[in-house]
Amino acid sequence: MQKRTLGKDGLEVSGLGLGCMGLSFGLGPAVETRQGIALIRAAVERGVTFFDTAEIYGPYANEELVGEALAPFRGQVTIATKFGFGIDADTGKPTGDLDSRPEHIKAVAEASLRRLRIDAIDLFYQHRVDDAVPIEDVAGAVKDLIAQGKVKHFGLSEAGAKTIRRAHAVQPVAALQSEYSLFWREPEQQIIPTLEELGIGFVPFSPLGKGFLTGAIDANTQFAEGDFRNVVPRFAANARKANLALVELLRGIAERKRATPAQIALAWLLAQKPWIVPIPGTTKLHRLEENLGAANLVLSADDLHDIAQASSRVALQGARYPEHLQKLVGR
């Protein structure tokens, strides 16, 4: 698989990464440990070198899974994890609060290093911007960790353009992780121009619209208990029914290119900028192989024009997040 570079410090990763969250958290029941390890190692065997996790996924369970799965490949892969949510020390459950105090960041780093079985975190993201802590203090804490050799690169997740600039002035930001796909294109307005100006890489999560762009979801789909999509307005039955127009658009182009809708959606992202590295997640080997096939799919200028023209006529329905979560993004 071809490599791409995130940030001016030269963080080189595979052109497609693997979002590991869904193996443990957020999209229904966690997979069995052996199954999760097998999938992650299958990704390595197929050329993936970039793996994304976070302490809050579980909590802790996903980092432990990723650490065990990638232990044989130390030095060959890049692991990104995140800090910034409060977790009750007694119960091990999320508090629902943000916590990016410098002392907390450093404690999270130490714990993540142990769970991931590594000597340094390759990419350490602030998971959400904490308005109670100046971003300069957050960047300064990660800068200290970099100086100590415990972290290699600094990242932000779902931050707004002003916050990105302020953080970058203290400690260069290697990558921003935020949602971006044909299903959610808001980053094109301010975020992507800011990243291009500053030389920061972009890591889109949910590059397949939380599974919607695969074509496997329709208005009648029932999500498992605990699946985050149950509370997402864009996944309400009526919204899904309306939004299927976008999937049909992708399906038509996919048939012409002898590909799948998911591969077209990922190839479209890869064609936007050479410093964009999507991290689709899956629990299934055949979906992993399907997603990775997008790395070899080249969309012509005519293809991209057709997608732009057709998608501009699709009015997507439903908010990306419920209101209480939307308040945490773009700050």
Residues serving a catalytic function are 57
Residue appearing with tokens 């945490």: 328
Angstrom distances, CA of residue 23 to CA of 36, 92, 154, 215, 248 = 6, 19, 24, 21, 28
Q: State how far the Cα of 257 lies from the Cα of 46, in Å rounded to an integer.
A: 22
How far, in Å, CA of 215 to CA of 237, rounded?
Answer: 15
Q: Which of 32, 34, 88 is nearest to 60 (CA)?
A: 88
37-63 per-residue burial string, b: 16 or more CB within 10 A, e: under 16: bebbebbbebebbbbbbbbbbbbbbbb
Residues 258, 274: Cα–Cα separation, whole Å: 24
Please tell me the distance from the alpha carbon of residue 266 to that of residue 256, in angstroms, as a whole number: 16
Give the whole-angstrom CA distance, residue 30 versus residue 64: 13
Beta bridge partner(s), residue 83: 126
